[in-house]
Structure 1
Amino acid sequence: MQRRAAPQATEGSTVTRATLETRGTPTKEQKKAQRGQNKARRFNKVRDELDLCWRVANGSTCEYGAECRFTHEIPAYLAAKTRDIHIPEMAQITDIPPYAPAQDSLVTPHPDFSSLDLSTVCPVFAETGECRYGFKCRFLGGHIRIAETGEMSLAGDEDKKARAALTAHEVNFVGADVQKALRSRKYAFPTADEYLRQLAAENPEKPKAVPTANSIVIGEPEQEMDVDTSTPAPQPTIQESASPKPTVDEIIAKRTGDAVAPTSQVDTPDVRVRFPEKKRLHWKGKTYLAPLTTVGNLPFRRMCVDLGADITCGEMGLASSFLSGSKEEWSLVRRHPSEKIFGVQVAGNKPANLVPTAEVLAKECGPNLDFVDVNCGCPIDLVFKSGSGSALLDSAGKLGKILIGMNQALGEIPVTVKLRTGVKDGKNTAHKLMPRLATEWSAGCITLHGRTRQQRYTRLADWDYIKQCVEVVRTKEADEDLPPVPIFGGGDCFSSHDYWTNVEASGVDGVMIGRGALIKPWIFTEIQEKREWDISARERLELIRKYSEYGLNHFGSDTTGVNATRRYLCEALSFQYRYVPIGILEQLPGRINDRAPAFRGRNDLESLLSSPDSNDWVKISEMFLGPAPETWNFTPKHKSNAYGSEEGQG
């Protein structure tokens, strides 16, 4: 191919570097920006055309009365409302098109209100005995009562409500009052503040001191930046002055409005839990679902628990966003009662944000939190360049201070660490760091992903190096006569064969499963039963139906919740379509890095579930969530997940 010549400058014209980059061969940065993921995805909330007041929808009285900006007229709302959704039973699903019966054929409309389907079943009501979405529910016909006089009321099942209080209600709801206190920097962090004072006292020669938990800067501000998806809290302006700089105690007193007491009169925090007294994690032989951004939400974790996952962890949350009271970040800590062992993963770049985050997690979620995981493996640029994620692998001293402080702040709740083999390819460092994690900094569990940050997910995971790291840690523990810390490996686990082969060969206590679970969530059943499951298309579709019901219970059964469930179901299908049925493989077991050619399934339904076209994923969602609104569309996160099908997706 002939090389394109660079444009020549002529009299009166200017050729800039930008001009060369746009007209000629793309630069390395431009190529990088164009590949990988769709970075400009937007998912607009879909609402009812006529929006009913939430208080009226739940049968109560609105305090704003006529001044409320939402309608209070229930009959008018029902007249304008989109028809109820009716989820078909699996017996009504076929293996040939159109697969599921049309919604019109399933609906039994009310004679006076055509939007009501009195034969439908509301997943929220069926599980909890009540529906918190009231008249706004898209399955309203399943729990509405209409008297002969025309008066409407919402049904309730007291026995089911009593049982659901223990088995179905999510926990770890952090209220608006706590989030407001965090945003306004009025939340108290006694343990974190005391620990940060200690760090400042240990380094008196440094020109800058360690900030307090509420980000009051002493001396020069730190150069590192936190990754914060919410509005950043304002920082105080540092003015040059000849007067001495205030002490940490004076700044905290100014923040709280209290007078500075002499050191001898200051009440110290409660006696800290010594590291040997922390709750030990007995995880050998247990299956562990990795924390997965976007797709590792509560409905997906709940489905994996049904399929055999023992340990689950919430999506990665940013410490800075937790401390700024982000509603979105705090939603990541919610736990379903079915999750037997549950933890929260946090990412941060210094003790001043991770230690107070640990303290607020212990205070607000302590009884329902089994561990807190520190992310030292995230490879994405946004996190790495802020000093978080895998950047901590090259900052052992800072990481040690973080873990010691978090251990103090969390009390008996263990701190675990997830890391990669190193930052740069060919320069593994985990074998130096892991013994310190286990013996010096009291990590409750260590998980090692067998790739460097630079590798991302290219090349196979290095399980030989994982074995080397396990041996180094076990030798160090034996030399110091310490009990063994659970060590999990990670990378390329896609079958029961992969799992047990890697456990036996490397000496790990288990394998953390990420992409393998995204592509085939039933991998946990395979591991427990030590077999390869040739799952049928109908069985796979039944799991999709279950996910839909779990999503409606978590995201909501109103219009907004239904389409949020649809969005996350499509995110899950963007991975599950990659599964190649065992029955048509030429050799077993299947491998995660194999890119199968186009194939036809053993029936039409199996072919549909293997479609790379994102439009087909939306069609699958419509089987259980009703027709998608005209204003709704889905763009896959990864371009490779729907090659040739992104045109027209918006």
Structure 2
Amino acid sequence: MLPPGTAQVKAEFLLPINPSESSTKIVLPDDDAAEGSTSHARGHATAEGDQDMRSSGPRRGKLTKAQKKAQTGMNKGRRFGKVRDELDLCFQVAAGGMCDYGDQCRNNHDIPAYMAAKPADLSFPSAEEVQSMPLPKDMNADAPDTAPPPPIGKTACPVFSELGQCRFGFRCRFLGDHIRQTDTGTSELIKNEEKMAYAATASVEANRLSGHAQKLLRTKKYPFPIATAYQKEVEAVSGSTSQPKSTSAIVVSEPDQDMHDAVAPPEPRSGVDEIVEKRTGEITAPADAPDVPMRAVERKRLDWAGKTYLAPLTTVGNLPFRRLCVSYGADITCGEMGLANSFLAGSKEEWSLVRRHPSEKIFGVQIAGSKVANVVSATEVLAKECDSIDFVDLNCGCPIDLIFKTGSGSALLDNVNRLGRIVTGMSRALGEIPVTVKLRTGVKDGKNTAHKLMPRLAPEFNASCITLHGRTRQQRYTRLADWEYIKECVDAVRAREKDEDLPRVPIFGGGDCFSSQDYWTCVEQSGVDGVMVARGALIKPWIFTEIKEHREWDISARERLEGIRKYAEFGLTHFGTDTAGVNSTRRYLCEALSFQYRYVPIGLLEHIPGRINDRAPAFRGRDELETLLASGDSRDWVRISEMFLGPAPEAWSFTPKHKSNSYESQG
């Protein structure tokens, strides 16, 4: 008899349970940990440290709450250092150019020497070859030939195929696709002029921060005329008792901290937190600065009814994964959550989160922050420097401690006055670009507050779309999403719109959507315009096809493998085809597989559709590949990556972000 919460797999596919393991407690996948930070800062426990914590502590074998969390939570000591070639070649020389530093360059300029030491080319399988490519050998076998065979297919460079030239030149691990021998016996890089001309307008990632703007941000000299004017206006209104008459002005309707409290950070103060104060006396507004704020009726209206929406996802919601979901039918995509302070500091890592691929039809950037001045300033620079953003989303739902304790994310739900100032200021800074807001039902379990806040977001604060996740911050993933409460919130918004003859604002719900049936049932019963899909897309990215076609797709193992091949191709195009790029792609591919293994094929279930929180018992698939794709051993995820990216370096290993997503780490 299977325990409650276990996926009902047909008896013929169940594997026998080892009696010695029958009493072992099965740990559910820790999706709270999956939302956590990937920070590698000092002071975080390492995997070895976690083991030490388990062996220490109170007597009689009892574990403290912190120790129990260390057993099943995040692997905070993860390290994914860049894997480089033994003899590194200068990037400019590798691309066929001249190095700006000449003899002073720290990298190698000797192309023949580099080529002699460079690992052999990799080959990438085509979509047709995926249907018959062999499975990798068992890494745990005792046979001497345990190394997986190289991928089949010709040496095809994904970057060259898409852009007409490979920016990695001689460093590319698929070099054979874009090199030829000249009459003089030297090697020459190939360019496809026709593809390059097309790629210049259709295939280039957008929203790249210029070096000049990055320098201004890092030296705190970037001008913010709109944010500076807004800061003064908020300070003036906060110091008076009169209420603003215009809905486009600052709304101060509840007793709260004034603007000085919102701007001044706790001690010790960081350089980023002082940006606004330091620049106020140095920057003057340009002559063309807008004097009159854009009214809500002038803003671009969002018509998102019937569109599918991929949620912003920490770590795994990168550009290659979004491209994969778009290929399956996602209409709206949003980048990973970025921190306002990091945008203002010119962080290269943070600005990489706003990159957009041309295939993304409707694309937004998500921002988090607690200080009004910093969030509005970061929004202003996003609007100025990014030429391809359709909306900016304010995160008022992130539950993780790292964000909550700073007053960001779901902490804003208990500070409505500050939230209103932030959204109004963002709207002012963005001009015609819409502001959207993502919420949770409340902070504390049993104390929902969203039904009071949501009706105010559009008419008072100029929000253009609202997303509501059906759980409180405290609840996290411990219970199912409350779709009845989501309906209550939708009804509250629609009632105010009707009473005051307001424009209709799109509302998306979120929580536990794992099938076409789930999606359309939630839409019909709650009245939302759509459902933002998060975990469901991580476990089965093809959920968007199911939603669009109103069906449950019993996808085959080979079809799933083709999706993995696409992800690898998109990863190489984004992260690069050199040694470092190949292994960055490998890392994020394994991150994706740490969710996808949880999918139980429809054809194996007694009842369909499956449910997102059901834990699968040990089962075998309908073929060897389906069984391999269901493996929770992270070493198998590496094996799958080797089918497309070649053998992993000896020093490279993958540690899952959340421990309970790998059976090998549950001991």
**Shorter-chain TM-score tier:** 0.7 to 0.9
Cα deviation code 1:150-169 (max 9, x no counterpart)? 21111001111111122211
Q: CA deviation at 1:204?
A: 3.3
| Residue 246 of structure 2: aligned partner | none
Partners of 2:345 and 2:589 lie apart in 1 by 29
TM-score by length of 2: 0.84
Q: CA deviation at 1:575?
A: 0.3
Cα deviation code 1:545-587 (max 9, x no counterpart)? 0110100000000010000000000000000000000011000
| Residue 478 of structure 1: aligned partner | 498
Q: CA deviation at 1:438?
A: 2.4
Q: CA deviation at 1:253?
A: 6.1
| 174 and 600 in structure 1: CA distance in 2 versus 1, 3 angstrom threshold | same
Cα deviation code 1:35-63 (max 9, x no counterpart)? 32111111010000000011110111113
* Paired residues for 1:246-395 under 5 Å: 252=279, 254-256=281-283, 269-365=290-386, 367-395=387-415
| 266 and 335 in structure 1: CA distance in 2 versus 1, 3 angstrom threshold | closer
| 562 and 646 in structure 1: CA distance in 2 versus 1, 3 angstrom threshold | farther
Instruction: Give yes or no for contact 1:95–1:538 (8 Å, CA) kept in 2.
Output: no
| Residue 77 of structure 2: aligned partner | 40
Match of 2:68 among 16, 26, 31: 31
Q: Is 2:489 the counterpart of 1:489?
A: no
| 338 and 268 in structure 1: CA distance in 2 versus 1, 3 angstrom threshold | closer
| Residue 140 of structure 1: aligned partner | 175
| 71 and 381 in structure 1: CA distance in 2 versus 1, 3 angstrom threshold | same
Instruction: Give yes or no for contact 2:512–2:536 (8 Å, CA) kept in 1.
Output: yes
Partners of 2:272 and 2:134 lie apart in 1 by 59
Q: CA deviation at 1:643?
A: 2.2
Q: CA deviation at 1:34?
A: 4.1
TM-score by length of 1: 0.86
| 130 and 517 in structure 1: CA distance in 2 versus 1, 3 angstrom threshold | same
Match of 2:620 among 600, 610, 613: 600
Instruction: Give yes or no for contact 2:72–2:660 (8 Å, CA) kept in 1.
Output: no
Instruction: Give yes or no for contact 1:168–1:337 (8 Å, CA) kept in 2.
Output: yes
* Paired residues for 1:77-116 under 5 Å: 77-93=114-130, 94=132, 97-98=135-136, 103=149, 106=152
Partners of 2:257 and 2:458 lie apart in 1 by 31
Q: CA deviation at 1:97?
A: 4.0
Q: CA deviation at 1:30?
A: 3.7
Q: CA deviation at 1:203?
A: 2.8
Instruction: Give yes or no for contact 1:310–1:341 (8 Å, CA) kept in 2.
Output: yes
Match of 2:271 among 210, 214, 233: 233
Q: Is 2:518 the counterpart of 1:498?
A: yes
Q: CA deviation at 1:225?
A: 8.9
Cα deviation code 1:323-354 (max 9, x no counterpart)? 11110000000000110000000000121111
Partners of 1:410 and 1:293 lie apart in 2 by 24
Return the letter of the residue paired with 1:199.
V
Instruction: Give yes or no for contact 1:122–1:140 (8 Å, CA) kept in 2.
Output: yes
Q: How many residues align?
A: 589
Q: CA deviation at 1:276?
A: 1.2
Instruction: Give yes or no for contact 1:224–1:386 (8 Å, CA) kept in 2.
Output: no
Partners of 1:192 and 1:370 lie apart in 2 by 20
Other structure's SS at 2:664 match: coil
* Paired residues for 1:160-179 under 5 Å: 160-179=195-214
Q: Is 2:443 the counterpart of 1:427?
A: no
| Residue 49 of structure 1: aligned partner | 86
| 102 and 90 in structure 1: CA distance in 2 versus 1, 3 angstrom threshold | farther
Q: CA deviation at 1:544?
A: 0.4
Other structure's SS at 1:342 match: strand
| 143 and 102 in structure 1: CA distance in 2 versus 1, 3 angstrom threshold | farther
Q: CA deviation at 1:442?
A: 1.7
* Paired residues for 1:514-533 under 5 Å: 514-533=534-553
Other structure's SS at 1:368 match: coil
Q: CA deviation at 1:509?
A: 0.3
| 400 and 453 in structure 1: CA distance in 2 versus 1, 3 angstrom threshold | same
Partners of 2:365 and 2:636 lie apart in 1 by 34
Match of 1:65 among 73, 82, 102: 102
Cα deviation code 1:89-138 (max 9, x no counterpart)? 3544448644899656858xxxxxxxxxxx41101101111001111001
Partners of 1:621 and 1:360 lie apart in 2 by 38
Q: Which moved more, 1:564-573 or 1:30-39?
A: 30-39
Q: CA deviation at 1:273?
A: 1.4
| 48 and 195 in structure 1: CA distance in 2 versus 1, 3 angstrom threshold | same
Other structure's SS at 2:282 match: helix
Instruction: Give yes or no for contact 1:225–1:386 (8 Å, CA) kept in 2.
Output: no
Percent identity, aligned pairs only, is 66
Partners of 2:149 and 2:636 lie apart in 1 by 18
Cα deviation code 1:490-540 (max 9, x no counterpart)? 001000000000100000000000000000000000000000000000000
Match of 2:237 among 202, 213, 224: 202
| Residue 425 of structure 2: aligned partner | 405
Partners of 2:543 and 2:107 lie apart in 1 by 47
Return the letter of the residue paired with 1:126.
S
| 32 and 138 in structure 1: CA distance in 2 versus 1, 3 angstrom threshold | same
| Residue 162 of structure 2: aligned partner | 127
Unaligned runs of 5+ in 1: 1-18, 108-118, 227-231, 238-247
Cα deviation code 1:215-242 (max 9, x no counterpart)? 9x7xxx443999xxxxx427779xxxxx
Partners of 1:571 and 1:557 lie apart in 2 by 19
Calculate the aligned-residue CA RMSD, in Å. 2.7
Q: CA deviation at 1:268?
A: 6.1
Q: CA deviation at 1:211?
A: 6.0
Return the letter of the residue paired with 2:80.
F
Return the letter of the residue paired with 1:309.
A
Return the letter of the residue paired with 1:392.
L
Partners of 2:427 and 2:128 lie apart in 1 by 52
Match of 1:584 among 604, 618, 627: 604
Partners of 1:529 and 1:162 lie apart in 2 by 36
Partners of 1:99 and 1:566 lie apart in 2 by 18
Q: CA deviation at 1:625?
A: 0.4
Partners of 1:120 and 1:354 lie apart in 2 by 46
Partners of 2:537 and 2:497 lie apart in 1 by 32
Match of 1:630 among 644, 647, 650: 650
Bigger radius of gyration, 1 or 2?
1
Cα deviation code 1:561-620 (max 9, x no counterpart)? 000000000000000000000011000111001111010000000000010000000000
Instruction: Give yes or no for contact 1:196–1:211 (8 Å, CA) kept in 2.
Output: no
| Residue 245 of structure 1: aligned partner | none
